[in-house]
């Protein structure tokens, strides 16, 4: 249940800004379209470790389910 609420909370925002202060300053100098691309790139790179950990956790959980039966 907590995972579901966390996921809903995480994806409920329509626009997410994932930039540090330095990236924000650089992006503001680039213009709107390149800044949006930079923001999307940061989000993409942030998502990769979560997917990897999620896959490992799911495989571990499925393996534990087999052992318990």
* pLDDT (tens digit per residue) in 23-37: 777 777 888 888 788
Q: What percent of the chain has pLDDT over 70?
A: 81
Q: Which residue has the higher pLDDT, 18 or 4?
A: 4
- Shortest CA distance to 46 belongs to which of 68, 20, 26, 67? 20
Q: Domain ranges in the chain?
A: 19-68
Look at residue 16 and tell me whether its pLDDT is greater than 70. Answer: no
In the block, tokens 């329509």 appear at: 14
User: Residues with Cβ < 8 Å from 63, sequence gap 6 or more?
Assistant: none
Query: Residue 5 pLDDT more than 80?
Result: no
pLDDT at 42: 80
pLDDT (0 to 100) of residue 17: 60
42-50 contacts at long range (C-beta below 8 A, 24 or more positions apart): 42/18, 43/16, 43/18, 46/18
Token pair listed for 24: 């924000």
Structure letter (DSSP) for residue 15: S
């Amino acid at each position: 249940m907590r995972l579901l609420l966390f996921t809903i909370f995480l994806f409920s925002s329509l626009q997410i800004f994932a930039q540090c202060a330095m990236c924000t300053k650089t992006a503001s100098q680039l213009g709107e379209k390149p800044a949006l691309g930079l923001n999307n790139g940061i989000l993409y790179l942030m998502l990769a470790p979560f997917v990897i950990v999620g896959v490992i956790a799911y495989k571990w959980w499925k393996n534990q389910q087999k052992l318990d039966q």
